[in-house]
Structure 1
Amino acid sequence: MEDKAMQESDRAANVRWWLCAGLVALVLGPGSALAEETDSTIPWPRQYKIKPHEKDRLTAADIVGPDGIVYPNWTRCGVQGGIPTVEVVANVEDFGAVANDDLDDSKALQEACDRAGRTGGAVLIGEGTYRLDRPVTVRHDKVIIRGKGPSRTRLIFRYAIPKEGVTFFNPPADSRIGGDTRIELHCVPAGLAKMTLMIDGTTIGAWTSGQHSGNTFSFAVYARAIPKEVPDGRHTLKGIAEYRDGSTRVAEIPILLDRTFKDRRLVPDSRAAITFAGQGTLGEKLEFASDGKRGDAELHLQSTGDLKTGDCIFIDGPATSRWKKLTRNACEWGMYRNYEAVVTGVTGGSVSISQPLRIQFPVIDGSYVQKVVPIQRCGIEDLYLEQTENLWITGVLFAHGWNCWARGVTVKKCGRFPVYGSMAKWCEIRDCTFDDAWFKGGGGTAYTGWDRCWDCLMENVETFKMRHAPLFQWAASGCVIRKSTFHESDAQWHAGWTNENLIEQCVVESVQGHGGYGYGMWASPPEDTAHGPNGPRNVVYNCDIRSQKAGVWMGGMNENWLILHNRFTIDGGPGVFARATSFDHIVKGNVFVLKDGKSPMIQLAAADCIGVEVV
């Protein structure tokens, strides 16, 4: 007992020493200096580090906190007006679903959702276990899928590729197809190298596996891709799957090609077990006449087209070669400078919008706005969802969803993401549990967070064995993740100029065993050809971070990040690491337990890491 007490005393003393060492240690890279303020070392004029007394610099995109720090404005985050109470208008049992009978209930759930879509309302799923052998897609506003609670209502999603290993998801055999018919092939993903679609002997499309293909199992083209030399009439569609071991699998179906046929069949979206799907962007791209500046709530366009009050719009600052050179962005794809808003007025060539811009949208890069038609005010509540097959399919997806939510949902073993937003605005994920994923091998998988989303909220979520959680990526802006716990995964600003997002009151327990990088929090560097750099003023506030490597690792091009009042416990590496072109940060009120006894609290690794305040 005495030896054990001495060991505990020694351990406590060591922790205290590590803590003290962390509080005083600071490492500056070659030529760098904490107080150096040479603007010539950074690539653009500094914008985001604003003091409360600088009234001429404050905009509607800013809020002065009680601590005197200027923060992003998150006051319009999440479902506007709160998640509503919605009455039940359809019961899945009335459409043929039977609990616990081991038969497919996807048709019944789809029909119940279609019925609810006529008026809006909730579809109730009773107690017991229900099976979904096909994806379900909701395309109408104000449809809510509701169970009796995750311990009482269980959905088992068991869509699988047949034993032949390749199949046509659409169209059905012997059906008529026209130019707008989606031709979609599904194949067993393990070892998949190439998918080819043919009509008779003519190729109409092909996909080849690449570095970031992940667990891809599907490939689709529209029938308008069929060469005009192929006449209307009866033909055979052929799908060919080629594998790295040299094997080949083939599926064939007869079809009737009729280019005059307008295909109005609603095909389920195979990206998720349950998808809430908006129409997306449409119409002309209306270019800016003058720069859209941070804080602007009025946009000056060359033409306002047919925009009117109440329209939803997508705002894009294209990643031109000029901008990529400025930000040293080596990534050849992805989304970076985007936002979405509601038109509140149109006057002449000006459009007023519901929220101020958070970043710049320069004319020189061809910035534009475009109308978007989202699905609105849909949700999924109080149920359990489990996937049985290793296919790259998300549990629940809000695709072009506005004011949508997931509440009280448990997802077990998702194929790609548990609940996810893509091109989403004002959405919420709350009171949910996400446990494990089938595939964690890269290419964008096993994430929990916001991707191409704006002003969305995640609260009271717990995850286990994800790859990157919590996460922001691809132009995510104004999103908040708070009061949540993430076991066995790292936090990431993973890609694509994410900006003005908040992680608050979260616990992150970072490990590498599930595909995480081992850092507590990681922001992709500009030379990363798969992800590109992250943008300004992301915030970490009052979190507990435990990691094997650095607590916060910033890859570069990061302006005015706020790392405030957190507690870091780190096995090896610095508390905060700024790699290059990482400037004007505020690091205040943090506690660092640096277990290796030698790493610095903060490491500024390059001469252009300037203007960093450590308090």
Structure 2
Amino acid sequence: MNSQSLIICCSLFVNSIAFSQQTPKILTDLKANYLPDFSYAGYHFGESQIPEATGKIINAVDFGVKTNDGLDDSKALLKAIKAATETEGNVILQLPAGRIILSEVLYIERSNFVLRGAGSGENGTEIYCPRPMMYLKNPESLAELREYLTTFDKRQREPENNVDLPFSQYAWSGGFIWTQIPGERVKSYLDKYEPVPNVLAKVISGNMGEHIISVSDVKGLKVGDIVELQLFNKDGENGEIITDLYKGAKVKPGSHHWKFPKLPIVRQQVEITKISNSKITIKTPLTIAIKPSYQAQLVEWKHLNEVGIEHLRFTFPNIPRVAHHVEPGNNAIFLTRVFNSWVKDVTITNADSGILGEEISNVTVQDIVTDGNHMAHYTVTLGGVHNVLVKNLKIYNKTVHPLSFNTFATKNVYLNCEIFADPLLDQHSGANHQNLFDHITVHINPDKNNSYLLFGGGGADYWKPSHGPFSTFWNLNVQVEKPSDKPVLLYGMKDGPFARIIGVNGNAKFEVKYEPDAYIEFLNMPLDQIPSLYDYQLKKRLK
């Protein structure tokens, strides 16, 4: 392999010494090239498998749910979920096999709750949603979002398509199954609604990648608490945290990095594992260093625990697609405010968005299929979330953002996922940093120049750049529809600093263009010995 097989634009090229070498240099020389530890992502920090939940079983059929009769089951389902919510201890709401018709939102608002179907296959449980959420009553918890959209006149403007339409509140929020804490915000949009947080400690210092923070003014914190660590930029356009967040990269941060000083620009949900005077140990490593000017704090974080959604499928009518951001709300699952929870064995057909996440941490989403003829916005997207693991996701439908790390997403992982239609690996701006695309397979059809836009940088200019440092691609398997002897150029990212791209391989030769300052290693070499960075790091940590 020589330097002609790689196009570098302002990037650092690291040459793989020999094909026989099976350990990337970045794993043995971390001081020279920082690589985050992604192994804490997922249910119980990756240390426990998703459980076969046990508890009191509430059968939906006992409340009038009747499958395959062509009649709406929403009222019966609302009664069943109310009974399950009021049941003490661990509870499972069991749905029957067959088609259930749903035209209301089912809110899960308690911990230790599992919504379980009879399977995601043909003989399992199908939740059919005949009309989108735009026809339902406006959710109270999206009132701030609705005001934000109108205040800033958020519109989709496509003159070439005669489109000038207001954004939908369901473009990136909402779902027919919706976890929430009643009265808690889904997401911060407007300063004036920012509540006074219950501050549990002021945080003075801490080092990136480490677990110990120095604190003062500690109030009632104890070992085992799950709290939110918040870092702020209160120093305007030249705030020190902006420089630290992007490590001085040659990128231009957008105005949202300083226009909302009351909103934390970096946040992590953390578990307290030790308290010793002014030193607190947290379970997971810091994504950036903490300095006094960041006015960092630990605050109360209200959330649900041990919530599961499993063994079912969602289907939506194949309605015409109007435009981006004006989706009417055929969204399956909306996860907010959950910790140590899961979604597994779910198939979603013809959705606008399959599974949306916001303000969640340490959740595993696995064994998911999205398909259908409808052009989707998202499949499983990760925005405003921390340590979420998406595992074994197969995407057969065309999607604007098939895999997407969105605003404020940190230390999340897509693992063993496969995209069959128009793949794009999207990082969607908004101070998202240190996320991992791990052992992803994509099926591409290069353009006439033998190139393919694989690395997406979505999102608005006011939240640019597309991502912060140390976003990582590990063992990316690219399958070309009609491979030739000529190398295929994989490109698309222009403002993603200090990415780690290790092990791009497949059934053709590839060149990679990723800007600025990417670390690239093991190009055109499979990582047979370490196919998954997440699995490797987890195994190493648990030793």
Counterpart in the other structure of 1:575: 511
Change (3 A) 1:182 1:383: closer
Query: In the TM superposition, what whole-angstrom CA distance separates every residue of 1:428-478 from its partner, at most 9, and x where no partner exists?
Result: 1111111258565xxxx3243322222221222111212222222223222
Counterpart in the other structure of 1:405: 342
Query: In the alignment, does 2:490 pair up with 1:545?
Result: no
Deviation at 1:99, TM superposition (A): 0.9
Counterpart in the other structure of 1:85: 52
Opposite residue 138 of structure 1, the aligned amino acid is I
Per the alignment, in what secondary structure is the counterpart of residue 406 of structure 1?
strand
Counterpart in the other structure of 2:308: 379
Deviation at 1:26, TM superposition (A): 4.5
Query: In the alignment, does 2:86 pair up with 1:153?
Result: no
Pick aligned residue for 2:428 from 490, 494, 514: 494
**Residues in 2 aligned to 1:147 and 1:92: alpha-carbon distance in whole angstroms:** 10
Query: In the TM superposition, what whole-angstrom CA distance separates every residue of 1:97-154 from its partner, at most 9, and x where no partner exists?
Result: 1112222222322332333333222211111111111111100112111111122211
Per the alignment, in what secondary structure is the counterpart of residue 222 of structure 2?
coil
Per the alignment, in what secondary structure is the counterpart of residue 84 of structure 2?
helix
Counterpart in the other structure of 1:95: 63
Deviation at 1:556, TM superposition (A): 3.2
Pick aligned residue for 2:381 from 446, 449, 458: 449
**Residues in 2 aligned to 1:586 and 1:316: alpha-carbon distance in whole angstroms:** 32
For the pair shown, the structure with the greater C-alpha radius of gyration is 1
Query: In the alignment, does 2:40 pair up with 1:76?
Result: yes
Counterpart in the other structure of 1:40: none
Change (3 A) 1:160 1:474: closer
Higher relative helix content: 2
Higher relative strand content: 1
Q: Confirm or deny: 8 A CA contact 1:502 1:541 kept in the other structure.
A: yes
**Residues in 2 aligned to 1:358 and 1:407: alpha-carbon distance in whole angstroms:** 28
Opposite residue 479 of structure 1, the aligned amino acid is N
TM-score by length of 1: 0.64
Counterpart in the other structure of 1:175: none
Counterpart in the other structure of 2:536: none
Change (3 A) 1:185 1:555: closer
**Residues in 2 aligned to 1:196 and 1:430: alpha-carbon distance in whole angstroms:** 33
Deviation at 1:92, TM superposition (A): 0.6
Opposite residue 513 of structure 2, the aligned amino acid is F
TM-score by length of 2: 0.72
Opposite residue 129 of structure 2, the aligned amino acid is F
Opposite residue 540 of structure 1, the aligned amino acid is F
Counterpart in the other structure of 2:175: 272
Change (3 A) 1:463 1:82: same
Deviation at 1:555, TM superposition (A): 2.4
Opposite residue 86 of structure 1, the aligned amino acid is A
**Residues in 2 aligned to 1:422 and 1:512: alpha-carbon distance in whole angstroms:** 34
Query: In the alignment, does 2:72 pair up with 1:104?
Result: yes
Q: Confirm or deny: 8 A CA contact 2:6 2:512 kept in the other structure.
A: no
Per the alignment, in what secondary structure is the counterpart of residue 360 of structure 2?
strand
Q: Structure 2: give runs of 5+ residues left out of the alignment.
A: 15-24, 158-163, 186-194, 258-263, 320-326, 482-487, 527-543
Opposite residue 485 of structure 1, the aligned amino acid is E
Deviation at 1:510, TM superposition (A): 4.7
Deviation at 1:539, TM superposition (A): 2.3
**Residues in 2 aligned to 1:448 and 1:518: alpha-carbon distance in whole angstroms:** 23
**Residues in 2 aligned to 1:586 and 1:138: alpha-carbon distance in whole angstroms:** 44
Per the alignment, in what secondary structure is the counterpart of residue 98 of structure 1?
coil
Q: Compute the RMSD of aligned alpha carbons.
A: 4.0
**Residues in 2 aligned to 1:493 and 1:336: alpha-carbon distance in whole angstroms:** 17
Q: How many percent of aligned residue pairs carry the same amino acid?
A: 17
Deviation at 1:76, TM superposition (A): 2.7
Q: Confirm or deny: 8 A CA contact 1:455 1:478 kept in the other structure.
A: yes
Counterpart in the other structure of 1:66: none
Opposite residue 157 of structure 1, the aligned amino acid is C
Instruction: Map 1:180-259; keep pairs closer than 5 Å.
Output: 208-211=153-156, 216-218=167-169
**Residues in 2 aligned to 1:142 and 1:520: alpha-carbon distance in whole angstroms:** 40
Q: Structure 1: give runs of 5+ residues left out of the alignment.
A: 1-19, 36-48, 59-68, 171-180, 187-193, 198-204, 220-268, 593-615
Per the alignment, in what secondary structure is the counterpart of residue 433 of structure 2?
coil
**Residues in 1 aligned to 2:156 and 2:111: alpha-carbon distance in whole angstroms:** 37
Query: In the TM superposition, what whole-angstrom CA distance separates every residue of 1:232-255 from its partner, at most 9, and x where no partner exists?
Result: xxxxxxxxxxxxxxxxxxxxxxxx
Query: In the alignment, does 2:505 pair up with 1:566?
Result: yes
Opposite residue 494 of structure 2, the aligned amino acid is G
Opposite residue 338 of structure 1, the aligned amino acid is R
